[in-house]
């Protein structure tokens, strides 16, 4: 066991999987010599060489498309897109090819790759360095979408993703990269993709979230009256997501608040709310509430904390839902 | 049938003012006047100081990430070749050109201070805001140039981008559109040798960036990017041709990023100290000063005055940028559309996204429904 940040836990998982399987290679902008702009791949090129940790030309479509080819032909590529805002040029490759080859070829051509992407706001970054596009990729069939919120989960989920037979988009919340440390076992372990986690148990209201807002939800819960018992679920995987865990919780509490950084309209919260009313309509005691980013472009950083679902706004949402 | 040569090409490299400040008089003929050289020297020196101050602002927590322009100021000479009606479609390493073309100097600081007001372009300036997604904005230049051609306007679109940007697919589509549709774009590729930590040699196997334009039927050349005479002449001639013939042109400027990629970067991790040292000697400011001194257009006392003036100017710019009040929350919403959709307006008016409190009838319903449930 050692006490690791999110960055270190991901680095450890990458190191161990590269050690264990020489089909695993990393490609992306500045991932080699520089160890990635967040230093997530620090030291890997020195250790595994330039053939396995590749500084690619500056081209996201090129990175994604050639990773697809690598995966098809027997490698286990881990392409990195430097920031979520630059998934744009790679979108066609990811959605129209990675997510479709298995279907298109009736299972004869597959794309086992893990696309690593730093995601989300809260770090004072420039434009297109703070967005939360997870719902877009969850919407496209054929892609799995993962977003861990802790070092322990990140290691286990990343190893699962790398070993997964299908393409996985692995979102890493930048705001959490160095936010806290956690005990992470040295040995390899996996956390199944698709499994959520109860961060705190409670009986009066369920909060569902993922990524960096897990921390803001905990902060909000600290400020609530003692007699309001809130259950906090970290979804961990956005697609396929753990609907059973949410249903079980909402059946118990009758109330649900969903929190995410992405804009409200068509955010992944919309899918969860619909699923809840489909599966436990008669258990609901209040309308499901969403505390999310606004339906606007993510603002430049002077206003980013006003945009993001911070603790105060989450508290308001929880309080309103609980009082209904 | 014999084997014929289907196509042959060469790439010319223009250099007029060398690193020792020695001018090729023949090539320099009809280019920059003494007055213009002094003007550019003063402007670039001020930009250099601006860069140093911006760096310190970031280090002391008064500004976010900032990309220093240091060493690449000579690209600003393009703006002297431009006319008022021309467009600038920039990346982020051509502050000097943008300021000359009419962008208020505090705007760039505001942008990197996370303030969208830094992106407001004055009404009478034809320019787009700094473009963050690398290699994508040159297509807008193609479209703008196309519109100018359709509307019979005698202008061109100057677009700036780095060596790394040429690897993006959109770069090639921009070149192909400009070539195929014959529109007046001047592409300016600032080849500074690096794209963050990725060396130019890893970016492409192509001998030059300039030759990429040939594949799209676009006239092209290399220039010494730290030589204001070469940059100016290339841009001026490209403009002339673009306006007259509606033809695009490509200029690769050979330059060097003397600073880190941005304040978030540490170039010592990947870059040779010797390489940096050798380029310091090619600094555009040093050779301009040498040249001006050799012509008795500059001296120590003028330099002192300039430095004092630059200090004063930049500190006034910083004051303006920092003195602006924090934007109001409405700013997040108000520019999304000309007219806000009802849900977005609701979010703006309540400053929350949860529905309770946004729809009073929800509560009324609860009151009437409550007894039935009890
Ligand atoms: C589409 C896209 N991908 C990645 C990035 C991250 N990034 C910012 S600058 C940069 C390197 C740009 O290199 P170059 O085009 O040579 O310009 P320079 O910074 O050298 O002026 C990268 C990879 C980005 N901003 N946009
Ligand atoms: Mg460059």
The tens digit of pLDDT for each residue in B19-45 reads: 999 999 999 999 999 999 999 999 999
Query: Which residues, other chains included, contact B373 with Cβ-Cβ below 8 Å and sequence gap of 6+?
Result: none
Q: Which residues of A touch B346 (CB under 8 A)?
A: none
Give the pTM: 0.97
Q: Is the CB of B194 under 6 A from ligand 1?
A: yes
Q: Report the distance separating Cα A152 and Cα A257, nearest Å.
A: 25
Q: Do A296 and B116 touch (CB under 8 A)?
A: no
Among partner residues B135, B270, B326, which is closest to A34 by beta-carbon distance?
B270
Mean pLDDT within B139-161: 97
Angle between helix A268-280 and A243-253 (nearest 10): 60
Domain boundaries, given as residue ranges, for chain A: 2-184, 197-323
CATH 3.30.110.60 fits A197-323, yes or no: no
How is B101-148 classified by DSSP, letter by letter? TT--HHHHHHHHTT-GGGGPPPTT--B-----STT-THHHHHHHHHHH
Binned at pLDDT 50, 70 and 90, residue B365 comes out as confident
Q: In sequence order, which ranges of chain B are alpha helices (DSSP H)?
A: 25-28, 34-59, 77-81, 95-100, 105-112, 138-150, 169-181, 200-203, 228-245, 273-280, 284-294, 300-323, 330-334, 342-350, 360-373
How would residue B369 be classed by pLDDT, with cut points 50, 70 and 90? low
- Pairwise CA distance, residues A120 & A134, whole Å: 10
Min Cα–Cα distance to chain A from B165, Å: 7
DSSP B6: -
Handedness of CA B214, B219, B222, B226 (dihedral sign): negative
| The pLDDT of residue B368 | 65
How would you classify residue B313: left for phi > 0, otherwise alpha for psi between -120 and 50, otherwise beta? alpha
What average pLDDT is seen over chain B?
96
Q: Are the beta carbons of A199 and A234 closer than 8 angstroms?
A: yes
Nearest-CA distance B117 → chain A (Å): 10
Q: pLDDT digit string (tens) for B233-288? A: 999 999 999 999 999 999 999 999 999 999 999 999 999 999 999 999 999 999 99
Angle at B283 between CA B277 and CA B286, to 5 degrees: 115
DSSP state of B203: H
Q: Is A139 a catalytic residue?
A: no
The topology under which CATH files domain A2-184 is Rossmann fold (3.40.50)
Domain with CATH 3.40.50.970 in chain B: 13-322
Tokens of A281: 């309509």
Q: Which positions of chain A have pLDDT values less than 50?
A: none
Cross-chain CB nearest to B336 (options A34, A297, A309) = A297
Whole-angstrom CA distances from A219 to A193, A313, B37 are: 27, 11, 59
Residue A200's Cβ-count burial label (10 Å; 0-12, 13-18, 19+) is middle
Q: Are strands A144-146 and A237-239 parallel, antiparallel or unpaired?
A: antiparallel
Q: What would the mean pLDDT of B210-233 be, rounded to a whole number? A: 98
Residue of B38, B126, B32, B121 lying closest to B80 (CA atoms) = B32
How far are the Cα atoms of B362, B363, B372 from residue B368, in angstroms, in the given order?
10, 9, 8
Residue B374 has pLDDT above 80, yes or no: no
CB atoms within 10 A of CB B232: 25
Q: List, for residues A136-145, the tens digit of each pLDDT value.
A: 999 999 999 9
Bridging pattern class, strands A114-119 and A168-173: parallel
Distance linking the first and last C-alpha atoms of chain A: 45
- Chain A residues in contact with B112 by the CB 8 A cut-off are 126
Min Cα distance B132 → chain A (Å) is: 7
Residue B195 has pLDDT above 70, yes or no: yes
The region that residue A74 occupies, defined by phi over 0 for left and psi between -120 and 50 for alpha, beta otherwise, is left
- pLDDT tens, position by position, B303-347: 999 999 999 999 999 999 999 999 999 999 999 999 999 999 999
Residue of A nearest to B165 (CA): A58
What would the pLDDT profile of B101-138 be if each residue is shown by its tens digit? 999 999 999 999 999 999 999 999 999 999 999 999 99
Which band of pLDDT confidence, cut at 50, 70 and 90, is reported for residue B1? confident
The complex's ipTM works out to 0.96
Which residues in chain A have their CB less than 8 angstroms from residue B344's CB? 294-296
CA B125 to the chain's CA centroid? 15
Task: Name the residue among A291, A294, A317 with its Cβ closest to that of B333.
Answer: A294
B167 and B198 Cβ atoms separated by less than 8 Å: no
State the burial class of residue B264 (Cβ atoms within 10 Å of its Cβ: 0-12, 13-18, 19+).
middle
Quote the CA–CA distance of B99 and A275 in Å, as a whole number.
54
Q: Which residue of A has its CA nearest to B344?
A: A295
Q: How confident is the model at residue B364 (pLDDT cuts 50, 70, 90)?
A: confident
pLDDT bracket for residue B361 (50, 70, 90): confident
The answer to whether A2-184 and A197-323 have equal CATH topology is: yes
B90 Cα: distance to centroid of ligand 2 (angstroms) = 14
Confirm or reject: Cβ of B134 under 6 Å from ligand 1: yes
B300-323 vs B105-112: helix crossing angle, rounded to 10: 50
Q: Compare all CA atoms of chain B with the CA of A84 and give the residue at the minimum distance.
A: B133
pLDDT value, residue B373: 43
Determine whether the shortest distance from the Cβ of A86 to ligand 1 is under 6 A. yes
* CA-based torsion, B279, B280, B284, B288: positive or negative: negative
Residues of chain A with Cβ-Cβ distance to B110 below 8 Å are: none
Which residues, listed in sequence order, are joined to residue A76 by a DSSP beta bridge? A24
The residue from B13, B59, B268, B270 that is catalytic is B270
Residue list, CB under 5 A from ion ligand 2:
B 162-163, 192, 195
Give domain B13-322's CATH number out of 2.130.10.10, 3.40.50.300, 3.40.50.970, 3.40.50.10470: 3.40.50.970
CB-nearest to A127 from B132, B168, B357 is B132
For a mutational test of ligand 1's pocket, the pick from A82, A88, A174, i.e. the residue with the most ligand atoms closer than 8 A to its C-beta, is A82
pLDDT over 70 at B367, yes or no: no
Distance from CA of B266 to the nearest CA of A (A): 9
Q: Considering just the CA atoms, what is the radius of gyration of chain B in Å?
A: 25
């Amino acid at each position: 066991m050692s006490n690791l940040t999110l960055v270190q836990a991901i680095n450890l998982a990458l190191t161990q999987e590269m050690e264990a399987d020489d089909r695993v290679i990393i490609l992306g902008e500045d991932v080699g010599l520089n160890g990635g702009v967040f230093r997530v791949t620090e030291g890997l090129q020195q250790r595994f060489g330039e053939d396995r940790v590749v500084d690619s030309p500056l081209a996201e479509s090129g990175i994604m498309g050639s990773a697809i080819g690598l995966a098809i032909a027997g490698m286990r590529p881990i392409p990195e897109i430097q920031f979520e805002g630059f998934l744009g040029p790679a979108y066609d490759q990811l959605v129209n090819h990675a997510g479709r080859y298995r279907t298109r070829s009736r299972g004869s051509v597959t794309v086992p790759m893990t696309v690593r992407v730093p995601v989300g706001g809260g770090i004072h970054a420039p434009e297109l360095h703070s967005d939360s596009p997870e719902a877009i990729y969850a919407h496209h069939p054929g892609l799995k979408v993962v977003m861990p919120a802790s070092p322990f989960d990140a290691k286990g989920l990343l190893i699962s993703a790398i070993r997964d037979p299908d393409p996985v988009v692995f979102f890493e919340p930048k705001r959490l990269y160095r936010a806290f440390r956690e005990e992470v076992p040295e040995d390899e372990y996996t956390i199944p993709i698709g499994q959520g986690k109860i961060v705190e148990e409670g009986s009066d209201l369920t909060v569902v979230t993922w990524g960096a807002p897990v921390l803001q939800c905990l902060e909000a819960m600290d400020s609530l009256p003692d007699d309001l018992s809130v259950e906090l679920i970290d979804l961990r995987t956005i697609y396929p997501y753990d609907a059973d865990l949410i249903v079980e919780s909402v059946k118990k509490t009758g109330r649900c608040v969903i929190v995410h950084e992405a804009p409200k309209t068509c955010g992944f919260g919309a899918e969860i709310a619909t699923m809840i009313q489909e599966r436990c309509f008669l258990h609901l005691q209040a309308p499901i509430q969403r505390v999310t980013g606004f339906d606007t472009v993510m603002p430049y950083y002077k206003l980013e904390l006003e945009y993001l679902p911070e603790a105060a706004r989450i508290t308001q949402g929880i309080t309103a839902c609980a009082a209904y | 049938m014999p084997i014929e040569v289907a196509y042959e090409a060469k790439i010319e490299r223009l250099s007029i003012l060398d690193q020792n400040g020695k001018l090729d008089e023949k090539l320099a003929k009809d280019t920059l006047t003494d007055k213009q050289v002094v003007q550019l020297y003063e402007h670039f020196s001020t930009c250099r100081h601006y860069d140093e101050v911006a760096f310190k602002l970031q280090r002391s927590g008064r500004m976010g990430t900032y990309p220093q322009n240091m060493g690449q100021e000579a690209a600003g000479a393009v703006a002297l070749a431009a006319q008022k009606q021309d467009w600038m479609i920039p990346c982020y390493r051509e502050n000097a050109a943008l300021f000359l073309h009419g962008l208020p100097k505090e705007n760039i600081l505001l942008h990197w201070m996370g303030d969208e007001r830094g992106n407001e372009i004055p009404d009478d300036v034809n320019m787009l805001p700094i473009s963050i997604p690398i290699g994508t904005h040159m297509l807008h230049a193609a479209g703008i140039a196309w519109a100018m051609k359709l509307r019979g306007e005698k202008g061109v679109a100057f677009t700036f981008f780095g060596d790394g940007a040429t690897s993006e697919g959109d770069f090639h589509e921009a070149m192909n559109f400009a070539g195929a549709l014959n529109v007046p774009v001047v592409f300016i590729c600032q080849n500074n040798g690096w794209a963050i930590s990725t060396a130019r040699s890893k970016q492409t196997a192509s001998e030059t960036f300039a030759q990429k334009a040939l594949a799209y039927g676009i006239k092209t050349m290399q220039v010494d990017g730290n030589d204001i005479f070469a940059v100016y002449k290339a841009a001026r001639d490209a403009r002339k041709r673009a306006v007259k013939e509606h033809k695009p042109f490509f200029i690769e400027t050979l330059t060097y990023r003397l600073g880190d990629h941005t304040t978030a970067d540490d170039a010592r991790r990947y870059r040779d100290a010797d390489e940096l040292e050798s380029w310091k000697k090619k600094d555009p400011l040093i050779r301009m000063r040498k040249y001006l001194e050799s012509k008795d257009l500059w001296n120590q006392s003028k330099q002192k005055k300039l430095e004092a003036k630059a200090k004063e100017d930049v500190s006034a710019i910083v004051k303006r940028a920092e003195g602006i009040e924090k934007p109001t929350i409405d700013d997040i919403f108000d520019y999304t559309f000309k007219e806000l959709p009802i849900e977005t307006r609701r979010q703006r008016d309540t400053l929350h996204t949860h529905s309770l409190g946004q729809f009073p009838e929800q509560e009324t319903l609860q009151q009437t429904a409550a007894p039935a449930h009890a």
